Amino acid sequence: MNAEIQALKQQVAELQQQLSLMDIQVEVNRSLFVALTRYFAEGNQLYIPELCDDLDQLCLVRSDQKWQTALIATAEILRALDESLPKQE
């Protein structure tokens, strides 16, 4: 019985960790949406390097490592996308 309780406690802890990570991802996605909305609302074209710089600055908003890791990963994905896009002249 004690082993079953320990296993259940471990499962609960793992689920709480997954939920925490999902909460961070939701916040990151929300931040990205707000930033993109701002760019379009201002009538500007979307410049990926500028967006990535903003994401880098958003890392400083919270000291949470998961938050920072998620933003950094998103910025790196966008930088790779920018490198793969044809350059306009």
pLDDT in tens, 60-80: 888 989 889 888 888 888 888
Residue 19 within any structural domain of the chain: yes
Residue 38 within any structural domain of the chain: yes
Residue 89 within any structural domain of the chain: no
Q: What percent of the chain has pLDDT above 70?
A: 88
Residue 5 within any structural domain of the chain: no
Residue 23 within any structural domain of the chain: yes
* pLDDT confidence of residue 88: 63
Spell 39-76 as b/e; 16+ CB within 10 A means b: beeeeeeeeeeebbebbeebbeeeeeebbbebbeebbe
With beta carbons less than 8 A apart as the criterion, state whether 73 and 28 touch. Answer: no
Residue 7 within any structural domain of the chain: no
pLDDT in tens, 22-34: 888 888 887 887 6
Residue that is written with structure tokens 């499962």 in the block:
11
Domain that residue 73 falls in: 15-84
Other C-beta atoms lying within 10 Å of the C-beta of residue 81 = 11
Say if residue 11's pLDDT is above 90. Answer: yes
Residue 37 within any structural domain of the chain: yes
Count how many domains the chain has: 1
